[in-house]
Structure 1
Amino acid sequence: MKANNHKQNKKRSMIKKSVTAVMVLNMMYMSALPVVGNFDPSVATFAAGATTEAVNITGTGSVKPPSLALRSAILIEPSTGQVLLSMNPDEPLPPASMTKMMTEYLVAEQVKQGKLKWTDKVTVQENAAKSIGSRIFLAQGDQHTVEELYIAMAVGSANDATVALAERVSGTEQDFVKLMNETAQKMGMKNTYFINSTGLDRGDMPKGFQPDTDRETVMTARDAATLAGNIIKDHPDYTRFTTIQSYKFRPTDKAPIINYNWMLEANKNITNFKKFAYPGLDGMKTGHTANAGNCFTGTAERNGMRLISVVMGADSDAHRFTETAKVLNYGFDNFEVKQVVAPKTVVKGAENVPVSKGTETEVPVVTKDAVSFVVPKGAGNPKVTFTTNITPESSLVAPLKQGAKVGTISYTYKTDGVEKGQVKTVDLVTTTAVEEAGWFRMLFRAIGNFFGDLFQGIKNLF
C-alpha cells in the first residue's frame, strides 16, 4: 500500500512540478513653449562616460544603436515591456511639459469612471489665470468645457488650461499633485516626483500657489515611457486629441493653436513640418523649459508594432525630433514582435490539474493570454523555454468557475551569448467549471480510493 501511495503521489507531483520544454502638420509659427532665460547648451551634454546602449537580445551584438546628443533617452516596445535602447534611462531630470501626460491620464480616468463629462463646464480660478508660459490666456471666471481645455493642454501645452483641469478634479492644484504622485507610484514610476500639474519650474508658478517645498518636478526617461504606455493601454482613444494638428480655441481667436508635435504623420503635407513628419507617429507630448532643454515622448506604430521613445535634454526644438527619428528608426529597422504562444493554448505536460472536492477530480487548463517577444527582424520563430507553477491541489477546491486561475506559466526567450533573457508570465486558467461534489459522491469516492489502494497494496505483495 505504501508503494502504491508512493506511485500515486509521484504521479500527482509530476503535474504540480515545473515543466521545462523548448518551444521555440503648414507651420503657423516656429516657437516652442515660452521660457524665461536662455537654454544652456551644456545641459544637453550627457554625463561623462554615458553612451547609448542597445539591449542585446540577438546574441550577436551586430545591431548597433545610434549616437545621440542628449541627456537621456529610451526606446521600448510596450506590449512586452522590452527595452530596445537606453541612455541614462533612470536619471531623474526636469521633464517640462511632458509632466502634462500625467494630468492628461488622470482627467481621462475621471471621464472613464463617470466622475467627469467632456461637456462639463470648468470655471477658471486665480491660479490658472495667472499661469505663465505656453497658455491660451484664460481669465479668472472664464468657463470652458473639459474637452476644450483638454485639447488646449494636449495640443498647445497650455499651462492655464492644465491648471484649470487639475483644480476641477481635485479642488486645488496641490491636492491634484498628490494624486499625480500616488498614481506614479502605482504605475511603477520609481524615480518621478511632481510639484505641479504643468512641468513649470517652481519659481515660474504663480505666487501664493507654489508648493511648500524646494523640490522640483523630475522624471526619468524610463518613467516617461511607462506613463505613455499606461495612456496607450488604458486610454487607447488618446489619438483623438494628440493627432489634432490645429485647434481654434475661441471663435474670436485670430489664429488657432498649433500642435507642438511636428512629427505627426499628417504633417507630411505641411510645408514647414513635412521634413519632421514620421510615418505612423500619433503622439504624444513635447516639453521645453530652460532647465529641461527640449524633450519629447513619442509613439509610433508600423506593421502592427508600436514603439515608445523618450528623448530628454535636446538643444533645440528641431533636434528633439531628429533624435527621436533616429531612436525610432533603430527600433523599426531592426526588430519585430513575434507571438510564440497563442491565447488559450494547452501546455504540454500540464494539460490538467487536480481539484479537491469536485464532481471531477481534475480540470483541463490553458494559457489565458498570448505570449509575444521582441526578436531581431527577419529571425525565424524564436525558441523559448517555459516553467509552470501550479497551485497545490489542497488549495484548488471546488467549486471552480470557468476561467479560474490555477497557476502561472513563465516563458523565457534567450539566445546564446545573451546574459539575460526576456521573460513573460501569464496565467493558467480552467477551460470548464467544476461543481462541488455532494457528500454522497465524496463518500463513495473515498471508499473507492480506499479499496483501490488496498487492492493495489495486496497486488504489490506478489
Structure 2
Amino acid sequence: MTRKVKNIGTVFISLMLVLLLAVGTALAQPASPQAAESSSAKEKAPAAQLETAAETAVLMDYSSGQILYNKDMHVAKPMASVTKLMTMLLICEAEAQGKFKTSDKVIASEHACSMGGSQIFLEPGEELSVKEMLISIATGSANDASVAMAEYVGGSEEEFVSMMNGKAEEMGLKNTHFSNPTGLPVENHYTSAYDMAQVLRECLRYPLFREVSAIYEYDLRGGDFKLWNTNKLLKWYAGADAGKTGWTNEASYCLAASAKRDGLRLVSVVLGCPMPRTHFQETIKIFNYGFAKYKAVTMAEAGQVVKEIKVDKGVADQVKIITKDPVGMVVPKGQEKTIQGNIKLPESIDAPINKGQVIGQYVLNKDGQEVLKVDLIAAQDINKASPLKLLNDMLERVYSME
C-alpha cells in the first residue's frame, strides 16, 4: 500500500513538471509563427538599396559632386579605354588655353600608327585635324589617334603620361595612376569609380568635350571611314549625352557616362561589369535610381554673372562677378525648399583686378547648415587707373557735390 502511494506521488510530480515545462515553453514563444517571422525580418532586413553587378560603381551629382550611390567607389581597378577621358581632358584643356586650334593639323607618327586594338588605321605621316583626332578618340575609342594626340600635346607619349598623372594629382585623385593614354593592358594602370567620375565631371566643363562626346556617328576621311560611338546610351537612354566605354579581359566592361533630365545632370561610373552590354544595363539602372529619387536645386550655372560691384581706382567703374563652378545640389524629391542661397561679396574692390580672381563666395545652406561653397570670380581684367584719371575722378566727385 505504501509503495503504491509512493508510485502515485512520483507520477503526479512528473506530470506537474511536464505541465510546467510545457507552459513555460509556450509563454516563451510568440503568439504565432507569422509573428515570429515578422519580428525576425524587421531585425534582419537591410535598408533599401540599389544592387549592381558592377564590381565598383558610383552615382554623382555633376553640379555639387554629391555622392548619391556607391559600391566600393574608392577601390582601385583597371579601367581599359575609360582612360581616354583623361586623355581628352588634357586635349580640351590645352585647346581652351590657346595652345592650338581644333583646325590645326596633327601628323601621325610611326609609333602612333603601331597601336593595336580600336583604331582608325592611321598611316605614318597621315594628317588629320585636332578635331578629327579628338572625334576619333571620343567616338571610335581610337588608340592610334590617342597616341598621336598625346605626342602632339606633350611632345612624346611618355611626357603626356606624366601630364596625365600630374593632372590626377592636381585633382586629388588618390586611387588613380596612368601608364599610357589608351587603356591598353599595362602594369600600374588603374583608377577608382569615384576618381573617374571626377575626371568626367571635369571634362564636362569644356564645350569641346561635350560636343565630340555627344557625336554618335561621324564620316572620317570624307566619308571613306565611318565612326560609330561605342557609348550606346546616346541612343538607348533619354538624356545621355557624354561618356566613355572600355573593355579588356583584365578590366571587363566599364563605362563612365553622363545624363541630364529636368535640370539634373548625373555622372555614373561602373567598373568590372561581367558580360557584354552589362555596363550599359547597370548604368541605366543606376541613372533610373537617381532620376526617380532626386531633384536638382540649381542657383546658377558655371560662368553665370551674379552681380556687378564697384571698382575703386580702376580704368572701369564696375566689374562683373561670375560663378567659378555650378551652384546647386540635389535633394530627395520634396525637399527642394530646404535649400537657401547666400551671395557673399564686398560692396567694392580696388583695382588692379585679374580675370579669375576670387572676389567672394556663393554659399548654399540646407536646413541652416552650410553644405556647399562656390567661389565667385572676376569676369575680366581691370587695370589700375593712371594718376591723371584718378585726379579727374576726384574732381568729378567734388563737382558733383556742389
Aligned match for 2:213, one of 230, 234, 242: 242
Structure 1 residue 63, shift from structure 2 partner: 8.8
Letter in 1 for 2:371: Q
Judge conservation of contact 2:299–2:341 (CA < 8 Å) in 1: no
**1:261 counterpart residue number:** 231
**2:305 is equivalent to residue 321 of structure 1:** no
**2:75 is equivalent to residue 94 of structure 1:** no
Aligned CA distance change for structure 1 residues 399 and 130 (closer, same or farther; 3 Å): closer
Larger Rg: 2
**2:366 counterpart residue number:** 413
**1:40 counterpart residue number:** none
Q: Point out where structure 1 has 5 or more consecutive residues left out of the alignment.
A: 1-61, 203-214, 268-276, 346-357, 360-365, 430-434, 442-462
Judge conservation of contact 1:89–1:221 (CA < 8 Å) in 2: yes
**1:107 counterpart residue number:** 91
Letter in 1 for 2:133: L
Letter in 1 for 2:266: L
Judge conservation of contact 1:412–1:424 (CA < 8 Å) in 2: no
Judge conservation of contact 1:82–1:422 (CA < 8 Å) in 2: no
**1:272 counterpart residue number:** none
**2:371 counterpart residue number:** 422
**1:230 counterpart residue number:** 202
Letter in 2 for 1:145: S
SS at match of 2:183: coil
> What's the RMSD between the two structures over aligned residues?
3.9
Give, in whole Å, the separation in 1 of the partners of 2:194 and 2:273.
17
**2:192 counterpart residue number:** 220
Give, in whole Å, the separation in 1 of the partners of 2:114 and 2:352.
59
Aligned match for 2:135, one of 145, 148, 151: 151
Aligned CA distance change for structure 1 residues 289 and 336 (closer, same or farther; 3 Å): same
Q: Which structure's residues are more often helix, by fraction? A: 2
Judge conservation of contact 2:363–2:370 (CA < 8 Å) in 1: no
SS at match of 1:217: coil
Judge conservation of contact 1:373–1:413 (CA < 8 Å) in 2: no
Give, in whole Å, the separation in 1 of the partners of 2:105 and 2:352.
48
Percent of pairs with identical residues:
34
Identify which of structures 1 and 2 has the higher relative contact order when contacts are C-alpha pairs closer than 8 Å and 6+ apart.
1
**2:262 is equivalent to residue 303 of structure 1:** yes
Judge conservation of contact 1:102–1:227 (CA < 8 Å) in 2: yes
Give, in whole Å, the separation in 2 of the partners of 1:111 and 1:80.
25
Q: Point out where structure 2 has 5 or more consecutive residues left out of the alignment.
A: 1-45, 314-319, 379-384, 395-402
**2:114 counterpart residue number:** 130
Aligned CA distance change for structure 1 residues 250 and 221 (closer, same or farther; 3 Å): same
Aligned match for 1:379, one of 331, 335, 344: 335
Give, in whole Å, the separation in 2 of the partners of 1:425 and 1:383.
15
SS at match of 1:256: strand
Q: Name the TM-score, length of structure 1 as normaliser.
A: 0.62
Judge conservation of contact 1:100–1:197 (CA < 8 Å) in 2: yes
Q: Which structure's residues are more often strand, by fraction? A: 2
The C-alpha deviation readout for 1:281-339, integer Å capped at 9, x for no partner, is: 01110011111110001101111111110011011231000100011111111111224
Give, in whole Å, the separation in 2 of the partners of 1:181 and 1:384.
38
Aligned match for 1:198, one of 182, 197, 211: 182
Letter in 1 for 2:373: K
Give, in whole Å, the separation in 2 of the partners of 1:249 and 1:367.
42
SS at match of 2:220: coil
Judge conservation of contact 1:414–1:422 (CA < 8 Å) in 2: no
Structure 1 residue 102, shift from structure 2 partner: 1.2
Q: Once structures 1 and 2 are overlaid, which stretch shifts more, 377-386 or 160-169?
A: 377-386
